[in-house]
């Protein structure tokens, strides 16, 4: 794909995303502004006891790992060959959902991509995938972590449990938001992001080529845009397009850092 084709594809994707946002938000405006958590969140809570917390983190991420294949089928990430990034809005379970999908070629050894991917998904990379104040709340083990990120300009908080799973030539990452935490209570004045993400760093065993597959599903709390000037759809489109690009910049910057250390 040459530069002109890439620009046309990016513009086409932006138009499609804008249209999907308008369809969802304009048809169901009242229910989308609810600040109440969706029904399934009641299970996404961490208790006070450390052993119980760690068991809950493993159970939550392992449950989401079971959904990875189905999410990738839906997102067109089973056998992609050409790089792409896509955002799409839809209505699900009484609220707006924004799906973000990306497929990237990573020009680096497999082990460096695995290391960089882990830094980015748990919020410790030099370039943050989403601008905010990050704090690691627990390093459960070498492959499981829990962190928070505050995003004061939009009045939102993210609490994510992340875990990585190893197979030959493939490392899978899962991130799932937490709805309630008895040890580190969420700020009731902030909106809580409800999200799940799946990522895989894949090595071609024959060529050594390394690729990244990424799929994220977010229920954005639209109440954070209620006082903003202009259409909500405009703010959402700009926010998610910026986040999608930021994830790519974060992992490429982290890869460049580790490559420079070789």
Query: Would you state the pLDDT for residue 222?
Result: 65
Whether 127 and 161 map to the same domain: the answer is: yes
Query: Would you state the pLDDT for residue 22?
Result: 44
Question: For residues 173 and 114, what is the distance between their CA atoms, to the nearest angstrom?
Answer: 10
Report how far Cα 15 is from the mean position of its chain's Cα atoms.
22
pLDDT band at 33 (very low <50, low <70, confident <90, very high): very low
- Residue 114, pLDDT above cutoff 60: yes
Domain count, the chain: 2
Lowest mean pLDDT among 28-42, 71-85, 195-209, 229-243: 28-42
Whether 12 and 84 map to the same domain: the answer is: no
- Token pair belonging to 92: 């699900």
Question: For residues 16 and 11, what is the distance between their CA atoms, to the nearest angstrom?
Answer: 9
Lowest mean pLDDT among 118-127, 144-153, 225-234: 225-234
Q: What is the mean pLDDT of the chain?
A: 82
DSSP three-state, residue 145: strand
pLDDT band at 24 (very low <50, low <70, confident <90, very high): very low
CATH of the domain at 96: 3.30.530.20
Query: Would you state the pLDDT for residue 257?
Result: 97
* CA pseudo-torsion sign 248, 120, 172, 191: negative
Whether 39 and 17 map to the same domain: the answer is: no
- Residue 42, pLDDT above cutoff 70: no
Whether 91 and 105 map to the same domain: the answer is: yes
Whether 18 and 114 map to the same domain: the answer is: no
Pair 116, 258: CB distance under 8 Å: yes
Whether 22 and 145 map to the same domain: the answer is: no
Domain with 82 in it = 35-261
Whether 1 and 28 map to the same domain: the answer is: yes
Query: Would you state the pLDDT for residue 219?
Result: 84
Q: Is 134 exposed, middle or buried (0-12, 13-18, 19+ CB in 10 A)?
A: middle
- Residue 126, pLDDT above cutoff 50: yes
- Residue 43, pLDDT above cutoff 50: yes
């Amino acid at each position: 794909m040459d530069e002109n084709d890439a620009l046309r594809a990016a513009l086409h994707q932006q138009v499609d995303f804008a249209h999907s946002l308008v369809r969802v938000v304009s048809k169901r405006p009242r229910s989308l502004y609810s600040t109440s958590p969706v029904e399934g969140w009641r299970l996404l809570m961490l208790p006070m006891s450390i052993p119980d917390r760690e068991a809950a983190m493993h159970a939550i991420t392992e449950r989401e790992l079971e959904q990875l294949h189905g999410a990738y089928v839906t997102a067109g990430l089973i056998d992609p060959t050409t790089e792409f990034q896509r955002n799409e809005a839809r209505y699900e379970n009484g609220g707006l959902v924004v799906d973000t999908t990306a497929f990237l070629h990573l020009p680096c050894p497999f082990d460096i991509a695995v290391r960089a991917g882990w830094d980015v998904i748990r919020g410790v990379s030099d370039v943050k995938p989403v601008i905010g104040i990050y704090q690691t709340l627990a390093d459960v083990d070498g492959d499981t972590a829990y962190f928070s990120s505050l995003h004061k300009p939009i009045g939102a908080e993210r609490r994510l449990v992340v875990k990585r799973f190893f197979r030959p030539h493939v490392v899978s990452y899962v991130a799932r938001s937490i709805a309630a935490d008895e040890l580190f209570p969420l700020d009731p004045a902030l909106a809580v992001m409800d999200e799940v993400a799946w990522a895989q760093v894949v090595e071609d065993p024959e060529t050594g080529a390394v690729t990244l597959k990424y799929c994220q599903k977010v229920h954005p709390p639209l109440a954070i845009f209620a006082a903003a000037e202009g259409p909500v759809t405009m703010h959402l489109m700009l926010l998610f397009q910026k986040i999608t690009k930021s994830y790519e910049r974060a992992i490429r910057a982290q890869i460049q850092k580790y490559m420079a250390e070789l």
